[in-house]
Amino acid sequence: MNLVLDLDGLDALIRVLRDDGRVVVGPVLRDNAITLAELDSAADLPGGWGVEIGAGHYRVRKRDDAAVFGHSAGPQSWKRFLHPPRRVLMSSDGNEFRTAQDTAPDYAFLGVRACDLAAIAKLRQVVGGPAPFVIAAQCTEPGELCFCASMGCGPAAGPGYDVALTERIDSGGHRFLAAAGTVEGTRLLDRLPGRAATQEDITLAAQDVDAAAQRMGRAMPEVDLRDLLAANRDSAHWEAVAERCLTCGNCTMVCPTCFCVSVEDTTDLDGNAERSQRWASCFEIDFSYLHGGAVRTSGAARYRQWMTHKLGTWRDQFGTSGCVGCGRCIAWCPAGIDITEEAAALAETTQLGGE
């Protein structure tokens, strides 16, 4: 089913989801960034705002139009709702232990890019949990750091969405082509005000998405990344990266698929105790601690571990790459380290078998 919605129709979509008891989360302008927060109406969306982005650089900017999805990935991903930064596992008041019960809201995610849609699938493969209702936003305007096309994760939304929206602003007005991807999505569209999509609506939307694939700001080298990294375990290039890397872990915190955690126990003098789980990073010196010390003590070893797992050995664990090409790790690296450039540098000096 394909329906064309205007801004009032988009507002109705949010209202219907909220009336059904769902917590609707989507992009908002907050703290000089496009972040994710609960939506009350379409007025909360960042209409007329885009982003200026580069290696180690992120700024919001006013657009020349009122597009609500005219921006690339921000500092937050949907991971924080599916895999919270911190959660209590169990607690005790000195008399009894209580296991925490996960009571996640019934989420509806609005404005999910193709890269993040792929990331949600990869993350849920690892951490599980209930599936959110997903309204994808087809990408028609990739950012300077986007490379989802070379990772096979966009710009067209892949499987996993309930409804996909393609935003278009032209002489015909400001509208959204809404395409159902599931039975639940069809039921939602049946309840919204809009008109049936014409073949021209569908064709124009598809052309916009196809054109976005040709305007990616970055690309991974066209080699087998798993084999490339396996062949470069002892490369001197890792030391060159380490000279720039601060081992701050920003890349792992903003990555939509990084899932590592640490478990902490805390107590107080009143006999209360709590065991909690928090996000951890393979850039932390204690992350690889074993009896007697840390396994990966150098920045070179830690960066190699992160990049090799993300692009290579993730396949051995989960059958796919752990990178979706969103570019967040490049934008939010204080040193501007670019994972696509590091992969290309390795590829230039490596002769893989069969080439």
**CA neighbor of 85 nearest in space, from 248, 247, 246, 262:** 262
Question: 34-76: per-residue pLDDT in tens?
Answer: 999 999 999 999 999 999 999 999 999 999 999 999 999 999 9
Least confident of 17-21, 57-61, 98-102, 149-153: 98-102
> Taking the alpha carbons of 76, 79, 82, 83 in that order, is the dihedral positive or negative?
negative
DSSP calls for 297-327: -SHHHHHHHHHHIIIIIHHHHHSS-S-----
Q: What dihedral do alpha carbons 14, 69, 328, 147 form, nearest 10°?
A: 120
CA 236-146-345 angle, to 5 degrees, is: 20
pTM of structure? 0.93
- Whether the CB-CB separation of 340 and 219 falls below 8 Å is answered with yes
Query: Residue 100 has what pLDDT?
Result: 80
Length of the chain: 355
Residue 110 forms beta bridges with which residues?
135
**CA neighbor of 213 nearest in space, from 172, 152, 165:** 152
CA–centroid distance for 56 within its chain: 18
Query: Residue 13 has what pLDDT?
Result: 98
| 150: DSSP letter | G
Residue 282, C-beta contacts closer than 8 angstroms, at least 6 positions apart: 252, 260, 288, 296, 302, 305, 306, 309
Question: 238-290: per-residue pLDDT in tens?
Answer: 999 999 999 999 999 999 999 999 999 999 988 899 999 999 999 999 888 88
Mean pLDDT of the chain: 94
- pLDDT of residue 355 exceeding 70: no
Question: 327-349: per-residue pLDDT in tens?
Answer: 999 999 999 999 999 999 999 99
From the number of C-beta atoms within 10 Å of its C-beta (0-12, 13-18, 19+), residue 320 rates as middle
Residue 30 forms beta bridges with which residues?
33
- Whether the CB-CB separation of 303 and 329 falls below 8 Å is answered with no
Question: 285-325: per-residue pLDDT in tens?
Answer: 988 888 888 889 999 999 999 999 999 999 999 999 999 99
| φ and ψ of 308, to 5 deg | -65, -40
Q: What percent of the chain has pLDDT over 70?
A: 99
Query: Residue 353 has what pLDDT?
Result: 62
Average pLDDT over residues 9-24: 98
